Structure 1
Amino acid sequence: MDYRSNVTYITFGGHVEVHKYGYLYFVIMFTVFILVISSNVTIVGIIMIHKNLHEPMYIFIAALLINSILFSTVIYPKLLIDFLSEKQIISYPASCLFQWFLYYWLAVSDFFLLSVMAYDRYVSICNPLQYPTIMQEKKVNIFLISAWILPACQTSGAMLLSAKKEICTFHLKGILCNSTVQTLHCVRSTILNIYGLFLLVTFLFLPVLFILFTYSRILVVSYRCRGVRGRAAQTCLPHLLVLINFSCLTTYDILLPRMELDSPKIVRLIMTLQVLIYHPLFNPIIYGLKMRRIYDHLKKLFCRMHKVGGSSPGCPMFHVEVSLSKTPNP
């Protein structure tokens, strides 16, 4: 604690040989940061610009990618500064708990959006005639607002409970403020543990069960109707890949630090970096390559870039469907 300024500082102890390899870490993570921002912004921009992508499924994808942009801008700048700093510290509770709040707010929001996307696919494939009535613009807006406001309200409760707890330890076994913040408390709070379990059930287990249920129904319908198999595979497979990737990373982030396993520091660092890299970078790649309409617009974009640069004057123009349909037909 700095008594002169009356500010408490927490030291990050999860870095490995940061004084020796700090510049290497910085170059690698800065490159990843640029890739994450550019790829997500590109897909979001394509969805916003092209009218044939102004459908619920693509709007929810854009919202998910916006979360990735916000997540990266919250975590990466502080991480890059720490790589070049002599001491890896953060103020508590202001900066640390604020980082913790944004970290889990966006994670919970992602699960909410993935659930809504699963519901959208379920209605589109299992009840196509009712799709325009059910997924109206007003309901889509309600889903989007709820995906950001409800997680913020729930997560802020846990943040306020943590802020009131006295801390006796000023050393975190990590490189950012995540669930390991509870190890700083002098006494473990029963209320905070119960509240954390409530959040885990309501915003992780229940959404995952709902998503699995909806996709099982889609699988049954696809098996019975050959005409929808290709469409179901094209639209549902990317969502399932993102869900599996995000669920595994979130489970590690929540459970393993609480188990306080005495794992090597390098292992903890690698696993934490996977949480920071895979999900924000994985999403735009999956949706950009696996969603047919987005992929077609990406090809046209790169074609135009090559033409402007003069490197590929014979680049063919790709046909992109521009008709706006009420029922998604990727």
Structure 2
Amino acid sequence: MIFLMRIDARLHTPMYFFLSHLSFVDIGFSAVVIPKMLGDLFEERKTISFLGCALHQWFFGFLGATTECFLLASVAYDWYVAIFNPLLYSVAMYQRLCIQMESGPYAASFTSTMNHTTGALQLPFCGPNVINHFFCDISPLLILICADISVNKMVLFVMAGSMLIFSSLMIITSYIYNLIANIRIGSAEGRHKAFSTCSCHLTAASIFYGTLFFNYVQPRASFSLDLHKVLSVFYIAVIPMSNPLIYSLRNKEVKDAIHRTIAKIKFCISN
């Protein structure tokens, strides 16, 4: 999808600019976790070094939830502008604004990850060294620390909660306005198509945000590592696999771009 959006000039629009970065993030944080997880399935003794675990946690945090949440919010805002101001769309979504909306999630994710990772890994690990998870996530790592981690828990709760609430409010507000605009569409076919697209986007966002809320914002008293592991599979494997289908492959422009690219490849091979 990233390659297609780069080589096809008709996809050089703000929406596909954000979707290409969403695809990059999906590839990134899945590639950090899944190869190690699959390798451990064939290993009797599953180990990871302290440095490896730190890098694992850092890259997963940087390319994970924070970046994807705000990129999804950027996609929702872009769709809102396209529906409510179609004539002024190219003016409202100018290049500098798109770059700021794209670089902002990476900056927020970098700051958040540095706080969580450095704050946790500089504390002493003098107890058990078995991580009750299939990757080095921050929650199971905090359990292994033999020191006061109340500050770490509070920082994680506040930062994760504020990030999730702020970005989810942006998405919900954008889709409410989009639904209002869709109701005003005169064509029944146009309303059906718009509602279908909106419902798919909301379903994907709801699953993603729901798993993150349960994993990182729920009270520690009701925290369950077994449930945490199950829910982690959704935002590590299921969501990255479904995002291209929901946000890209269902679009007519993307389908046409795929056909044009295949035709060009066939033409080059035949020549």
Q: Which category describes the TM-score, using the shorter chain as reference length? A: 0.7 to 0.9
Counterpart of 2:54 (choices 97, 111, 115) is 97
Distance 1:262 1:72 in 2: 20
Aligned residues with identical type, % of pairs: 24
TM-score of the pair, normalised by structure 1: 0.71
2:185 is the alignment partner of 1:222: no
Per-residue deviation at 1:243? 0.9
Per-residue deviation at 1:72? 2.3
Per-residue deviation at 1:121? 1.1
Corresponding residue of 1:295 = 255
Distance 2:71 2:93 in 1: 14
TM-score of the pair, normalised by structure 2: 0.85
Corresponding residue of 2:167 = 207
Q: Is the 8 A contact 2:161 2:217 kept in 1?
A: no
Aligned positions of 1:1-330 closer than 5 A: 43-92=1-50, 94-106=51-63, 107-167=65-125, 168-178=127-137, 179-226=139-186, 229=191, 232-233=194-195, 236-254=198-216, 258=220, 259-261=222-224, 263=226, 270-301=230-261
Distance 2:49 2:134 in 1: 14
Distance 1:98 1:58 in 2: 30
Q: Is the 8 A contact 1:165 1:185 kept in 2?
A: yes
Moved more, 188-197 or 64-73: 188-197
Evaluate the alpha carbon distance shift between residue 257 and residue 177 of structure 1 in structure 2; reply closer, same or farther with a 3 A threshold.
farther
> Gaps spanning 5+ residues in structure 1: where?
1-42, 311-330
Corresponding residue of 1:33 = none
Evaluate the alpha carbon distance shift between residue 288 and residue 210 of structure 1 in structure 2; reply closer, same or farther with a 3 A threshold.
closer
Evaluate the alpha carbon distance shift between residue 191 and residue 137 of structure 1 in structure 2; reply closer, same or farther with a 3 A threshold.
same
Q: Is the 8 A contact 2:157 2:217 kept in 1?
A: no
Tell me the SS of whatever aligns to 2:22: helix
Per-residue deviation at 1:301? 4.8
Specify the code of the residue in structure 2 equivalent to 1:292.
Answer: K
Specify the code of the residue in structure 2 equivalent to 1:124.
Answer: A
Q: Is the 8 A contact 1:82 1:88 kept in 2?
A: yes
Specify the code of the residue in structure 1 equivalent to 2:143.
Answer: T
Specify the code of the residue in structure 2 equivalent to 1:128.
Answer: P
Q: Is the 8 A contact 2:5 2:20 kept in 1?
A: yes
> Gaps spanning 5+ residues in structure 2: where?
none
Distance 1:203 1:254 in 2: 11
Q: Is the 8 A contact 1:234 1:290 kept in 2?
A: no
Larger Rg: 1
